[in-house]
Amino acid sequence: MNQNENDAHITDVSFEDGQVIRARYIIGADGARSLIRTIAGIGFSDPEGPNLVSHVLSQMVAADVTFEPEPTGPLTLEGHLNGTVSSDSFFMLIPFGNRFNAELTQNGNTTTKSVFRVSCAIPVKNGEPPHAPPKEYIQDMINTYGPTCISSDSSLNQTPVKIDQLVWSTRFRTNSAIADRTFTRLGAAIFLVGDAAHVHSPAGGQGMNLAIRDAIFLAEAVTKHIRASAEDPNVDDTILQEIAEARHARALETIGFTKKLLKLASLGYDPYAWWMPFGWASVRDLTLRILGRFDFVQLKVAWGMSGLGRR
């Protein structure tokens, strides 16, 4: 990307195939390893500085699988989300049934069986998971950290089941980072949205909601700026700068929110001290069990998770 020689508000964007596009606005929506962000010289780091403390959910593995035979029991009911917590891990099971099979098996390995999504925090002491964990890795993960109803270990499950088909698998880290700024100029106005502007842990499911809101508010701001530019070619960047600062602030709020959820989820069950023969995780579970009975608490949690309070 280079500033146009004839117009200070235009950037010439060159592609590998030799194509050159002249642009007044450039939206960097190219993910956490954003090339747009790098070329623009925008930094990307954790707002609280380097995090040297490893928490339970620091590295995760997720996969879509089918089983043979298909597991049964209350935890395998379609649409339910089930969590299994241990002292050093967190395992999540989501039975999709077969209604999404066409979308989930687009790699040609079609199936008519029920698909299950499994996600698991891998303890740092176990080493780094492979880039695309194979079936054997996922099976061992399920046997170690998952509920017994989907285990292949006959000593744990009276009706053992094994992974039949590994539809998809991945690994990821739950790090947080934010761009130093989400708006700059290199001739054209350059904006960062979504993962190019901010990343955080998946706790609370905030990522996609925040990115969509980035796009919606940015579209409004760019539209206003285009109209203002049509009336006055020398219009300044106030409109663009204001929305960039607002989105940056919302991203910081969301990162803080997910970090709090992550700390809450990472509490351990090991006894705290001789005079407190139980862990903070037990205190958390009891508190949530009591407070979760109240409607106003449920509404407050739902409001926070929805992201509507941080538009």
Output the tens digit of pLDDT for each of the chain's 311 residues: 999 999 989 999 999 999 999 999 999 999 999 999 999 999 999 988 775 445 667 789 999 999 999 998 888 888 788 888 777 788 999 999 887 777 766 666 677 889 999 999 998 889 999 999 999 999 999 999 999 999 999 999 999 999 999 998 999 887 889 999 999 999 999 999 999 999 988 777 788 889 999 999 999 999 999 999 999 988 999 999 999 999 999 999 999 888 888 778 777 778 888 888 888 888 888 998 899 899 998 888 888 777 776 67
Q: Considering only CA atoms, which of 95, 151, 135 is closest in space to residue 118?
A: 95
Give, in order, the Cα–Cα distances in Å from 59 to each of 22, 131, 155, 267, 296: 41, 12, 28, 16, 33
CA dist., res. 170 & res. 61, Å (int)? 6
The DSSP secondary-structure symbol of 160 reads -
Buried b (16+ CB within 10 A) or exposed e, 7-24: eebbbbbeeeeeeeeebb
Supply the pTM of this predicted model.
0.74
Query: SS3 of 85, please?
Result: strand
Question: What is the predicted pLDDT for the residue at 34?
Answer: 96
Query: Do you find a cis peptide bond into 277, omega within 30 degrees of 0?
Result: no
Question: What is the predicted pLDDT for the residue at 56?
Answer: 67
Work out whether strand 25-28 and strand 188-192 pair parallel, antiparallel, or are unpaired. Answer: parallel
Question: What is the predicted pLDDT for the residue at 209?
Answer: 87
Cβ atoms < 10 Å from Cβ of 87: 11
Query: SS3 of 127, please?
Result: coil
